[in-house]
Amino acid sequence: MASTISIRRGLDLKIAGRPAYKIVDAPRPARTALQPGDFRYFRPRLLVREGDAVKAGTPLLESKDDARVVLVSPASGTIEQIHRGERRKLLEIVVALAGEDAFEEFGALDDSDARALTREALVEKLLKGGAWSLIRRRPFACIANPDERPQSVLICATPQDAFDADPDLVLRGEEKDFQLGLDLAAKLTDGPVFLAVPANAVSPALTAATGVRTLRFSGPYPAGDPAVQIYHACPPKAKESVWYLRAQDLLALARFVRTGRVSPERVVALGGPAATERQLFRTRLGASAQSLTEGRCEPGELRLVSGSVMNGRKIPRTGFIGFYDTALFALKEGREREFLSFFRPGLDKYTVSSTCLSSFLGKAEYALDTNLQGSLRNFVQSGIYEDVCPVGIWPDQTAKAVMAGDIEEMEKHGILDCADCGLCTFVCPSKIEVGAILRRGIDLIRKEG
């Protein structure tokens, strides 16, 4: 029987632009890309050059820390460009798709052979085919270490926010592969496998799943985030880790084991106030944003966010959807300065701290743009962050410990539980990037070991 966990702290995002609850096929993208920045703490060694022909599944990068961990091409074609940034930091490897997909073969298995794999054989197969990168760990939200045994595994089958592709819809008709994925996940740990589903889930893949402890999650954003779910359901003990996969990643892992080929198919939601055709699109891993937004967004200067609107990554119109992302959010760049804005009542402004009169109107949704509605000011201790933080951190105290470089104090405040949800930054009346400060602290702890 499923238990229910209600997340009380968070924020009901009153942002316009939710996608319709239906899936349509997107046109085949001309390009896809692998972006090393999607993999936290991954130090890449490049294995290909511009102009090389690759198949779906050809290794493009290996980890400098563990050469067994490779990242593979999401498509077959030619390496069109290798983009580097400052200090030659590798930003993206762009693959131009060519004709029918050709795949690297890693050995197909029928269901019973797949279920009979030993843990060692499964880990070796996943590493070889690049499917290992689908598994992440908490703390640190990085690719799992193949030499570890996690305390438990959590499969996150909830949408990240109201603009995400809902696994309850995406998994319909995928019951067999999803159950195979759950059975394979159980091999990775000696502990339990938790399946986090929405409180109102109806898809048979989720409601009839076996061999797992099903947890029904309800609550405002970010109740659908695996980091928040792990904090409430199975927080890692000292020196332990909890591994997690999002539902579509587990599906891809199961298909890889069954077919012996990488499974690049993904369902991505296009939403946000500046999207004119909002729905879920069946596309592929790392697809170009253009293949989804062309003709489906308002003209003019837009900001595209790959992933959640609160903590996703800003990408250009010519950019690519992130490896773990199943949402693309479009909003207008707000560059105009409002004349005497300080004296206006703000009837059309989204406010969390009741600074504007709009808080008395009870408006359901606001068409946000990127305008911050204010500028950077001195920090004010008001308790507003604690009211929304879903993992019981005091973000202001923790941020002070980060600024002082005091690791012991950071850990005492529970910084490693931070879900990186972005809410403390969003609600900050002083426009301080509180979440980014905390992320710096987590990076420091990771670096210091």
Sites of contact with ligand SF4 (CB under 6 A) = 388-391, 393, 395, 418-424, 435, 438
Q: State the Cα–Cα distance between residues 268 and 287, nearest whole angstrom.
A: 10
Sign of CA dihedral 234, 116, 101, 175: negative
Cis peptide before 139 (omega within 30 of 0): yes
Query: Could you give phi then psi for residue 306, rounded to 5 degrees?
Result: -90, 120
Pick from 96, 94, 76: which is nearest to 84 by CA?
94
Q: For ligand SF4, which is the closer residue by CB, 236 or 422?
A: 422
Packing angle between helix 395-403 and helix 434-448, nearest 10 degrees?
50
Q: For ligand SF4, which is the closer residue by CB, 186 or 436?
A: 436
Minimum CB separation of residue 6 from ligand SF4 in Å reads 17
Minimum CB separation of residue 355 from ligand SF4 in Å reads 19
Q: For ligand SF4, which is the closer residue by CB, 163 or 231?
A: 231
Q: Are 219 and 8 in contact (CB under 8 A)?
A: yes
| Alpha helix stretches (DSSP H) within 174-320 | 175-187, 204-207, 226-233, 247-259, 290-293
Map tokens 């409430």 to a residue: 232
Q: For ligand SF4, which is the closer residue by CB, 141 or 274?
A: 141
Q: State the Cα–Cα distance between residues 356 and 373, nearest whole angstrom.
A: 11
Q: For ligand SF4, which is the closer residue by CB, 319 or 435?
A: 435
Minimum CB separation of residue 228 from ligand SF4 in Å reads 7
Q: How many CA within 13 A on the CB side of residue 55?
A: 11
Q: Which two tokens stand for residue 6?
A: 């209600």
Minimum CB separation of residue 313 from ligand SF4 in Å reads 15
**Residue 148: count of CB within 10 angstroms of its CB:** 13
Q: State the Cα–Cα distance between residues 232 and 4, nearest whole angstrom.
A: 11
Map tokens 């972006």 to a residue: 35
Q: For ligand SF4, which is the closer residue by CB, 247 or 391?
A: 391
Minimum CB separation of residue 149 from ligand SF4 in Å reads 27
Minimum CB separation of residue 419 from ligand SF4 in Å reads 4
Q: For ligand SF4, which is the closer residue by CB, 71 or 156?
A: 156
Minimum CB separation of residue 422 from ligand SF4 in Å reads 6
Q: How many CA within 13 A on the CB side of residue 47?
A: 20
Q: For ligand SF4, which is the closer residue by CB, 177 or 417?
A: 417
Minimum CB separation of residue 192 from ligand SF4 in Å reads 24
Minimum CB separation of residue 145 from ligand SF4 in Å reads 23
Q: For ligand SF4, which is the closer residue by CB, 226 or 390?
A: 390
Q: Are 294 and 279 in contact (CB under 8 A)?
A: no
Helix and strand element counts for the chain (H, E)? 13, 20
